[in-house]
Amino acid sequence: MQWPEEASRQARDDFERMLPEAFKVAHQGLATYGEFWPFAVVVDLDGGQRLARFEPDRNRPGPGEVLAALRRSLREGEPLRAAALVLDVHAPDLGSDVVEVTCEHLGSPPVAVRRPYTRRRFGGRVSYAPDVVGPGTPSLLTR
């Protein structure tokens, strides 16, 4: 993966660790349920990596509500050095649904990695196209 030239070595290493975990968990949701709720893979200041999810109080809140609550909980929680926000969205410019992972790091500009996918109507098999990488928009590490 080509990361921004301005990215520190630590940022590149953290991105390389977070990205496979983000896509693995997203794939499991797509393959099992045909969708997934927004979640994040985060790295604390000591380098520990974990999944972060928002567990709603009710059965079917809107995705926007889940995303807002996830962002709020991460901004108000322990300090982080990196975060990868993972969304299931439609990308009109690619003409496809995509797993979108926005990687943020204290030592790098944000990067968005979008993996287009299609899901078969029968059998639910998920097929992926090559990743599309571009600049991201910060939303988790801003205070």
**pLDDT tens, residue by residue, 21-60:** 999 999 999 998 888 989 999 999 999 999 998 776 667 7
Element (H, E) at 108: strand 108-119
- At residue 126, the pLDDT reads 93
DSSP 1-65: ----TT--HHHHHHHHHHHHHHHHHHHHHHHHHS----EEEEEETTS-EEEEE---SSS---HHH
- At residue 142, the pLDDT reads 63
- At residue 74, the pLDDT reads 87
- At residue 123, the pLDDT reads 67
Residues of the chain with pLDDT under 70: 56-58, 123, 142-143
- Please tell me what DSSP assigns to residue 99: E
- Please tell me what DSSP assigns to residue 126: E
- At residue 100, the pLDDT reads 97
Which tokens is 100 given? 């979108």
Cβ(140)–Cβ(74) below 8 Å: yes
How far apart are alpha carbons 71 and 139 in whole angstroms? 7
Residue 60's identity, in one-letter code, is: R
How far apart are alpha carbons 138 and 135 in whole angstroms? 10
